[in-house]
Amino acid sequence: MSELFIGLMSGTSLDGVDAVLADFGAPQPRLLAHHHRPFEIAIRHELLMLNQPSHDELRIAALAANNLARDYAVCVQALLDAANLSNDAVAAIGAHGQTVRHRPDIGYTIQLMNGALLAELTGIDVVCDFRSRDIAAAGHGAPLAPAFHQAAFASRDVHRVIVNIGGIANVTDLPTNDTVSGFDCGPGNLLLDAWAQQHLHQPFDRDGAWASSGRVLPDLLKKLLTHEFFRRVPPKSAGRETFNLEWLEPLLPKNTEPADVQATLLALTAGTIADAVEMFCHGACEVYLCGGGARNTALAKLLTEQMKDRKVAATDTLGIAAEHVEALAFAWLARRRLRGEPGNLPAVTGARGARVLGAVYQK
Ligand SMILES: Nc1ncnc2c1ncn2[C@@H]1O[C@H](COP(=O)(O)OP(=O)(O)O)[C@@H](O)[C@H]1O
Ligand SMILES: [Mg+2]
């Protein structure tokens, strides 16, 4: 059987689709091609709107799921072209879809993406809806990447931590004794992006340059840290319903400089990540950053300062570029699905037990 798998990830940042084609024939996956496709503004807006209740949302969601499948299919073709392969060389696609609601507390999560249409458009088996089964088994359905982080990055000699900085940040603790833990620790790029979009009219604050031009507002930072999410103990997971501008805005003092707010959001993001590592990853020596937030140089610098007793670097150092890790995780999870192997770690998600994750649409 082919060991070539495609992973397609579009996360809470709503920046677009990260796509990878990898060969899992060797212990360390070998990347054959990658592609990033930014969302068109209209699609991004529609997906963002679908995070909130609205009139006629079932129809809008169904059409958005079709649009997303078409976007995903374009990514698949770009990967095949780049690697000079045809679709029948690929065993399966692991497609995350777009989270528009995440409510494990009341028993559901929704990742939009029409898997049937993607199978039809690509002629490749599609695995999707990875999170529902874990929630059905009383888990949070998130984070799911820790099992892959373990497979790709764990070391017998060094206690490592992987911090994925997507829209939400999540931490995977990889002690040398194999007892993996992981959880969402708070905002990643979500608040930084939202504030930059509102004030700079740009998708994100490149390299955290704008945040670096402002001053941290200590009183505001203190208020933000009182969010009940930071007091919860793992397992825990967060989404756009947890951290957003509707939560932030009433907490802002009058007449603040927008750049100072951005500086404060950067401090909040770095501080809550560093606190999570400090509190739940005792004895970790090395911290590796992945996700787009790893490319925010101001954020990476702050994290390095705040965790000065540990080595801090991007996962690139371990052989996988920061922006490819999560997409690779879903390629790996698709492979687990086809092999009938569990994809969740019950200690991470809180599920009753290990479960085979994902629904399959055959080509
Ligand atoms: N050079 C950069 N400077 C600052 N932020 C960056 C940079 N590159 C990427 N990002 C951030 O990474 C985000 C995308 O990260 P990603 O891992 O795709 O998150 P998600 O999984 O939530 O989609 C962007 O929205 C942006 O906030
Ligand atoms: Mg993304």
**167 Cα nearest atom in ligand 1:** 22
User: Which-ligand-closest: CA of 39?
Assistant: 2
- Give CA–CA dist 340/39, Å, rounded: 33
Q: What average pLDDT does this structure show over 15-19? A: 97
- Locate 353 and state its tokens: 């037990």
Banded pLDDT at 27 (limits 50, 70, 90): confident
Q: pTM value?
A: 0.96
User: Which-ligand-closest: CA of 143?
Assistant: 1
- Locate 261 and state its tokens: 């707010």
Cβ pair 123, 87 in contact under 8 A? yes
Banded pLDDT at 35 (limits 50, 70, 90): very high
293 CB under 6 A from ligand 1?
Answer: yes
Cβ pair 337, 351 in contact under 8 A? no
111 CB under 6 A from ligand 1?
Answer: no
Banded pLDDT at 329 (limits 50, 70, 90): very high
DSSP conformational letter for 208:
G
How does strand 126-128 pair with strand 108-112? unpaired
189 CB under 6 A from ligand 1?
Answer: yes
Cα of 173 from ligand 1 centre, angstroms: 22
Above pLDDT 90, what percent of the chain? 97
Rounded-to-10 torsion of CA 15, 28, 152, 193: -10
Cα of 227 from ligand 2 centre, angstroms: 25
Question: Mean pLDDT over all residues of the chain?
Answer: 97
Q: Which residue's CA is the nearest one to ligand 1's atom 9?
A: 292
Cβ pair 322, 314 in contact under 8 A? yes
Cα of 10 from ligand 1 centre, angstroms: 11
pLDDT of residue 40: 95
pLDDT of residue 26: 87
Q: What is the CA radius of gyration of the chain?
A: 19
| 225-238 tens-digit pLDDT | 999 999 999 989 89
pLDDT of residue 206: 98
pLDDT of residue 316: 98
164 CB under 6 A from ligand 1?
Answer: no
**16 Cα nearest atom in ligand 1:** 23
Query: Reduced to 3 states, what is the DSSP secondary structure of residue 73?
Result: helix
Site to substitute for ligand 1 among 14, 15, 39, most atoms within 8 A of C-beta: 15
- Locate 215 and state its tokens: 């001053």
The two counts, helices (H) then strands (E), for the chain are 14, 13
- Residues 6+ away with beta carbon under 8 Å from 272: 169, 185, 186, 187, 225, 230
- Locate 326 and state its tokens: 């999560």
16 CB under 6 A from ligand 1?
Answer: no
Q: Based on the number of CB atoms within 10 Å of its own CB, is 311 exposed (0-12), middle (13-18) or buried (19 or more)?
A: middle
Q: What average pLDDT does this structure show over 193-198? A: 97
Banded pLDDT at 264 (limits 50, 70, 90): very high
pLDDT of residue 275: 97
Cα of 246 from ligand 1 centre, angstroms: 21
Cβ pair 31, 324 in contact under 8 A? yes
Above pLDDT 70, what percent of the chain? 100
184 CB under 6 A from ligand 1?
Answer: no
User: Which position has the token pair 């507002």?
Assistant: 217
Q: Which residue's CA is the nearest one to ligand 1's atom 21?
A: 11
**299 Cα nearest atom in ligand 1:** 4
Banded pLDDT at 102 (limits 50, 70, 90): very high
Cβ pair 307, 171 in contact under 8 A? no
187 CB under 6 A from ligand 1?
Answer: no
| 147-192 tens-digit pLDDT | 999 999 999 999 999 999 999 999 999 999 879 999 999 999 999 9
Site to substitute for ligand 1 among 8, 10, 13, most atoms within 8 A of C-beta: 13
